[in-house]
Amino acid sequence: MENLQVEDRLNLKAKKFLMWLFIIASFMMFAALTSGFIVYTEGNAERGIKVLLPKAFMYSSVIIILSSITAHMAYLSAKGLQLGKQKLYILLTILLGIAFFYSQFQAWQALYNSGAYFVNYNASQSFIYVFSGAHLLHVIVGLFFLIYALIGAIRTIPQVRNVFRMEVASIFWHFLDILWIYLYVFLLLNQ
């Protein structure tokens, strides 16, 4: 029995390492995208964004920060064996993630209505869609992590696995939070 627990912990460490590799790869991808934006604009005002960012992006920022707090509370609840609170906080995080998703679409709608289209003569405006769209793909992955953690809490899996699922989900969700704040500030500074 003890050998199974040791083997299980090693498997969990390997899985967490893979998640960190995914985070690093994602970070590098977004660094490349923002670098591409900087190279494209080259300080040339003609190639600037030339559109005000929609307020929905600001609301998205508030939503994702709140969701990061609820994700952390879910993790603390999992560690404290408070499954009822863990389920509640995971569900709140999922709902806030969906609200973030919705607010991003509202921002795209506002951009479109202001004349900033995905395909246009100004690729800088297209970068807004690329940044937020790539981030939304990561949010979908984060929502799957959260749903997986919620299923584990509902099924009352062993504590080690429950905490592991919650830890991985919250780490990835915090990464999404930090990534969005970076992208939002980057876009604000370049609008």
Q: What is the pLDDT of residues 128-172, one digit of tens each?
A: 888 888 999 999 999 999 999 999 899 888 888 888 899 999 999
Is the pLDDT at 5 greater than 60? The verdict is no
Instruction: Report the alpha-carbon distance of residue 89 to residue 42 in Å, rounded.
Output: 44
pTM score? 0.85
Q: Is 121 exposed, middle or buried (0-12, 13-18, 19+ CB in 10 A)?
A: exposed
Q: What is the pLDDT of residues 33-48, one digit of tens each?
A: 888 888 877 766 666 6
Record the tokens describing residue 143, joined without a space: 């929502």
- Short-list 118, 120, 123, CA closest to 40: 123
45 — alpha (psi -120 to 50), left (phi > 0) or beta?
alpha
Tell me which long-range contacts 40-45 makes (C-beta under 8 A, separation of at least 24). 40/123, 40/124, 40/127, 41/124, 41/190
Angle at 75 between CA 171 and CA 152, to 5 degrees: 95
Neighbours of 5 (CB within 10 A): 11
Q: What architecture (CATH level 2) is domain 2-43+53-189?
A: Up-down Bundle (1.20)
Is the pLDDT at 190 greater than 60? The verdict is yes
Helix or strand or coil: residue 66?
Answer: helix
